Amino acid sequence: MTVAPEKSDVDVPEGYVKLTIDGEEVVAPKGELLIRTAERLGTVIPRFCDHPLLDPAGACRQCLVEVEMNGRPMPKPQASCTMTVADGMVVKTQVTSEVADKAQQGVMELLLINHPLDCPICDKGGECPLQNQAMAHGRTDSRFVDKKRTFPKPLPISSQVLLDRERCVLCQRCTRFSDQIAGDPFIDLLERGAHQQIGTAETADVLDAASHTSESDSASAGKSASAGGQPFQSYFSGNTIQICPVGALTSAQYRFRSRPFDLVSTPSVCEHCSSGCAERTDFRRGKVMRKLAGDDPEVNEEWICDKGRFAFRYATAEQRIRRPQVRNAETGELEEASWTEALRAAADGLAKARDGKGVGVLPGGRVTLEDAYAYSKFARVALRTHDVDHRARAHSAEELDFLASRVAADGGPAGGGVTFADLEKAPIALCVALEPEEEAPAVFLRLRKGARANDVKVVHIGQWASPAVEKTFGELLACAPGGEAGAVDGIAQHAPDVDEALRSEGAVVLVGERAAEVPGLPTALHRLAERTGARLAWIPRRAGERGAVEAGTLPTLLPGGRPVTDADARSEVERHWGIEPGTLPAEPGRDVTGMLNAIVTRDLDGLLVGGVDLDDLPDPALARKAFDAAGFVVSLELLPSTVTPYADVVLPIAPVDEKSGTFVNWEGRRRPFTVTLDGTGALADSRVLDTLGVEMDADLFTQTADAARGDLDRLGAHEGTAPKGTSVALSATKVPPGASAEPPAPGDGQALLATWRQLIDDGSLQIDEPALAGTARRVVARMSRATADGLGDHVTVSTDRGSVTLPVEVTDLPDGVVWLPGNSPGSKLRATLGAGHGAVVDIAGGDR
């Protein structure tokens, strides 16, 4: 028994307690768990189930310590991961207490009784907490001589997660993650005693067979394939693989690929959405083997979505373009060429087109800040135009004003912009035209966390109670697609409580990129923010969009949010770039659709295109017509795309793993990353454009990402009350409230189309990932019972361009509305229907 030191001169501030750990006095905040207080002292108590971001469970009992309260020792060692600190507590960890040490060794021995000692064939081997802690806190030998309990393995619980029940230590990290963080509790503890195991509804069906040993192997394997139930379909399932403290959950994609000592790890940033999650990229022999979630408490905490984790093999796809190609004038075929030759051809063609009717620039939304800046500068300096627009999606002039006044002028986290942390504490978060789980999964996780922990009221203005609405404990204000503007304007009337909440301190409104498709919505949101004082945050889908706004790849904006129409801003930029005063046109350029139309009408000759898929554009048919008509097309691409057949010169560029750069996430936070695979010879867009610029006698100074960013930063943000002009444009509503709110009325056999893209779909960065594709949500058409009435099992949704036939799922949509996924297998709406959110489509019973 230890006696607490009698007197001490340590001051205990309010809200803190003083206790003794291993004879050392510590002051700890009330409510802190013992295991963490000890950690701050430098004593690591072994643990499996404890995870700082999950609720304490006390499931594994590995963290036992001796505790003494009020001078009386507790009868048994206590789990330090569930016990909070208290005044006068005396704790002895394995360092000073033989009892604690023996208890830990005992637990370890017990955990290893049925453990298969699979290390040589286990993916966790080499980075396994069980291995490490067994070495540090286990007995040297086991006294267990009987036959071990075995299970058939591995059991696929989804196409990307494999379960090995023999290795599981039943810590319940995976189930707690799925339940608490992701809200997808498909995975749970089943059975009791020695047969207790992790499983899904599907595996539960085969429990009987599975809980016996090898004799039943084949029988159960056969059965599990055919069993019903819900597999572990979660967009966040990869996190369970990462937090599983043993090799019980492994990744189908990374299976047996390498060992930790083979891997070189670099910190990186996810390129898939605008959340900008921190990642760790592990590569071996010049090839990326896996991506893991990085730890960034400000942004993604320790979680990432499965797309960010598993979709990276597009960069090593066989069809990747590795050498420049130039179209042979005689044969009309693209032929490989040297860089010198290709750049010469591109520069000549672009110069000729520029001196003719001009060249438009379409950088696409996946660019880094530096690459966007290079496109922006290339358009202005080398092509002498403002015809540049990165919005390879539905867009509108109204959105352009919105971006200029509300997004470009928002100073990011430093300037009081909405941050991830704000989502957690906001009294209300109103999501408009945004499906957070599908479009920005990290945002969804934060909203859910806030709703769980701090009662953040999450309100969605959308069409149906999607899983995200349910999992954020949200309230749905349903409206017809296209009716969002009216819904926003009418909040004060039909949802006074929401309106009230929006007026309170810290309220936020989150807007998705779909807002551009709804006439009047950006303006209505602007009005709402002005009226209630709620802060607006724009959460686009693609990683590069916010950075591109900052870099000025918009027809109305120069870098740093400077309006093109502002003479002072123009001359500032001209001075900085060292170009003749007055060279920058005073008039804004054309947007994407404007450029395409101009090509068709022969008012524009050439196009310089980055990562753009024609089927993402609002009108793919118009786009194809325009590209066909264009005099000269230069494509900077990683993989052959819908642009490639029209390109006169194709210049290969580097994927994110092979370049450095910065993404600017939706908060406006810079997310710099360094090169992972060095020396592959692949060049970033900024470098290619720089060299192309030299060929055209224009100096961009964007040879490296650092140089480009330095150049942009020296220019700085726009000073003064910059976007006043545009802000006025926004408030001087072009569309009077109410009028805009009326979506077109569908007639008989028609419906209004609601759509957004699912996280896991046919996106071009998801090719070559069968395991990931297996966890995509089912592709169905959703509509209300009344709308589905008489259609049968399948519905055919059509426009004059084409049709899509999908199984019907009755959902709580408003009548006369049909929802389809935007770009999933069998449902590529832009490409087949040429229609988007809010369009009127024909519906009929589909045969299949």
Partner 1 sequence: MGIFDPVKGFGVTFGMMFKKVATEEYPEIGAPAAPRYHGRHQLNRHPDGLEKCVGCELCAWACPADAIFVEGGDNTEEARYSPGERYGADYQINYLRCIGCGLCVEACPTRSLTMINFYELADDNRQDLIWTKEDLLAPLLPGMEQPPHPMRLGDDEQDYYVNGPELARGRGVPEQETVETDTEEAVR
Nearest CA to 43 among 88, 6, 94?
94
Name which of ligand SF4, partner 1, ligand FES, none residue 488 binds, using a CB cut-off of 5 to 8 Å depending on partner kind: none
By beta-carbon proximity to ligand FES, the closer residue of 50 and 371 is 50
Choice from 34, 63, 108, 246 touching ligand SF4 (CB under 6 A): 246
Applying CB under 6 A, among 18, 51, 61, 115 the residue interacting with ligand SF4 is 115
How far is it, in rounded angstroms, from Cα 686 to Cα 693? 10
Q: Choose the stretch contacting ligand SF4; rule: CB under 6 A; options: 36-44, 50-58, 111-119, 449-457.
A: 111-119
Task: Please tell me the count of residues contacting partner 1 according to CB under 8 A.
Answer: 16
> Which residue, 177 or 627, has its beta carbon nearer to ligand SF4?
177
Q: Binding string to partner 1 for residues 44 to 83, with x set by CB under 8 A, is what? A: ----------------------------------------
Residue 843 identity = I
Q: Round to whole Å and give the CA distance between 600 and 58.
A: 68
CB of 50 to ligand FES, least distance (A): 4
* Member of 248, 382, 458, 773 binding ligand SF4 (CB under 6 A): 248
- Scanning 127-135, 151-159, 199-207, 719-727 for contacts with ligand SF4 by CB under 6 A, the matching segment is 127-135
Rounded Cα distance between 413 and 420, Å, is 9
Cβ within 8 Å of residue 433, ≥6 positions away: 461, 462, 484, 511, 512, 513, 514, 515, 517, 518, 521, 837
Q: Which is nearer to partner 1, 128 or 729 (CB)?
A: 128
Closest CB 437 distance from partner 1, rounded Å: 31
Q: How far apart, in whole angstroms, are the C-alpha atoms of residue 609 and residue 617?
A: 13
Q: Cβ(15)–Cβ(27) under 8 Å? A: no
Binding residues with ligand SF4: total (CB under 6 A): 25
If contact means CB under 5 to 8 A according to the sort of partner, which of ligand FES, ligand SF4, partner 1, none does residue 349 touch? none
Write out the H or E segment, with its range, that includes residue 68: strand 64-69
Q: How far is the CB of 754 from partner 1 (least distance, A)?
A: 42
Comparing CA positions, the residue from 750, 736, 825, 816 lying closest to residue 784 is 816
**Could you tell which of ligand SF4, partner 1, ligand FES, none binds residue 249, using a CB distance below 5 to 8 A set by kind?**
ligand SF4
Q: Hunting for tokens 């002498």 — which residue is that? A: 384
Report the C-alpha gap between 111 and 132 in whole angstroms.
14
CB of 236 to partner 1, least distance (A): 25
> Which residues 6+ apart lie within 8 Å of 659 measured at CB?
368, 675, 682, 683, 684, 705
Write down the least CB distance from residue 132 to ligand SF4, Å: 9
* Residue 81 interface partner, choices partner 1, ligand FES, ligand SF4, none, CB cut-off 5-8 Å depending on type: ligand FES
122 forms part of the interface with ligand SF4 (CB under 6 A): yes
Two structure tokens written together for 256: 């047996």
Residue 191 structure tokens: 């059975």
**Residue 210 Cβ, how far from ligand SF4 at the closest point, in Å?**
15
If you ran DSSP here, which 8-state letter would residue 778 be given?
P
CB closer to ligand SF4 out of 260 and 738: 260
Among residues 44, 69, 119, 767, which is the contact residue for ligand SF4, using CB under 6 A?
Answer: 119
**CB closer to ligand SF4 out of 135 and 414:** 135
Q: Which is nearer to ligand SF4, 169 or 751 (CB)?
A: 169
Q: How far is CA 371 from CA 359, 394, 654, 700, 768, in A?
A: 18, 22, 11, 11, 26
Stretch that binds partner 1, among 93-101, 113-121, 599-607, 630-638 (CB under 8 A): 113-121
Q: How far is the CB of 51 from ligand SF4 (least distance, A)?
A: 9
* Residue 403 DSSP code: I
Quote the tokens at residue 123.
Answer: 């993916």
User: Closest CB to partner 1 among 255 and 322?
Assistant: 255
Structure tokens at 19: 């206790």
Among 63, 90, 91, 128, binds ligand SF4 (CB under 6 A): 128
Omega before 154 cis (within 30°)?
A: yes
Q: Which does 743 bind (CB under 5 to 8 A by kind): ligand FES, ligand SF4, partner 1, none?
A: none
Supply the minimum distance, in Å, between the C-beta of residue 59 and ligand FES: 5
- Amino acid present at 702: T
Between 292 and 502, whose beta carbon lies closer to ligand SF4? 292
Is 25 one of the binding residues for partner 1 (CB under 8 A)? no
- CA-based end-to-end distance of the chain: 77
CA distance 126 to 147: 26
Q: Which does 256 bind (CB under 5 to 8 A by kind): ligand SF4, ligand FES, partner 1, none?
A: partner 1
Q: How far is the CB of 549 from ligand SF4 (least distance, A)?
A: 41
126 binds partner 1 (CB under 8 A): yes
Q: Quick check: 125 binds partner 1 (CB under 8 A)?
A: yes
Q: For residue 717, what are its two tokens?
A: 């943000």
61 binds, among ligand FES, ligand SF4, partner 1, none (CB under 5 to 8 A by kind): ligand FES
Q: Judging by beta carbons within 10 Å of its beta carbon (0-12, 13-18, 19+), is residue 218 exposed, middle or buried? A: exposed
Put the strands of the sheet holding 249-251 in their side by side order. Answer: 155-156, 161-163, 249-251
Identify residues 178-207 at the interface with ligand SF4 (CB under 6 A): 198
Report whether 689 contacts 350 (CB < 8 A).
no
Residue 217 binds which of ligand SF4, ligand FES, partner 1, none (CB < 5-8 A, kind-dependent): partner 1
Backbone φ and ψ for 483, nearest 5 degrees, come out as: -95, 10
Q: Does 174 bind ligand SF4 (CB under 6 A)?
A: yes
**Residue 27: which of 8, 45, 52 has the closest Cα?**
8
Catalog residues that contact ligand FES under the rule CB under 6 A. 47-50, 58-63, 79, 81
Report the residue number, 120 or 720, with the smaller CB distance to partner 1: 120
For partner 1, the binding residue among 109, 188, 217, 295 (CB under 8 A) is: 217
Choose the stretch contacting ligand SF4; rule: CB under 6 A; options: 169-177, 345-353, 427-435, 667-675: 169-177
Q: Interhelix angle for 521-532 vs 724-731, to 10°?
A: 100
Quickly list DSSP for 582-616.
T-S-SS----HHHHHHHHHTTS--EEEE-S--GGG
According to CB under 8 A, which one of 142, 258, 265, 733 is a site residue for partner 1?
258
If one asks whether residue 255 binds partner 1 (CB under 8 A), the answer comes out as: yes
3-state secondary structure 464-524: CCCHHHHHCCCEEEECCCCCHHHHHHCHHHHCHHHHHHHCCCCCEEEEEHHHHHCCCHHHH
Cα 829 to Cα 833: distance, rounded to the nearest angstrom: 5
Nearer to ligand SF4, 242 or 787 (CB): 242
Q: How far apart are CA 336 and CA 610, in angstroms?
A: 19
Binding test (CB under 6 A) with ligand SF4, winner from 97, 104, 172, 764: 172
Q: Which stretch binds ligand SF4 (CB under 6 A): 17-25, 120-128, 366-374, 821-829?
A: 120-128
Q: Can residue 118 be called a binding residue for ligand SF4 (CB under 6 A)?
A: yes
User: 671 forms bridges with which residues in the sheet?
Assistant: 663
3-state secondary structure of 453: helix
The Cα–Cα gap between 493 and 261 comes to 62
User: Rule CB under 8 A: is residue 132 a binding residue for partner 1?
Assistant: no
What is the nearest approach in angstroms of ligand FES to the Cβ of residue 64? 8
Is there a contact between 326 and 657 (Cβ–Cβ < 8 Å)?
A: no
Residue 774 engages partner 1 in binding (rule: CB under 8 A): no
Residues that bind partner 1 in the complex, under the rule CB under 8 A? 119-121, 125-126, 153-154, 214, 217, 255-259, 261-262
Residues within the interface to ligand SF4 (CB under 6 A): 115, 118-120, 122, 124-125, 128, 130-131, 167-174, 198, 244-249
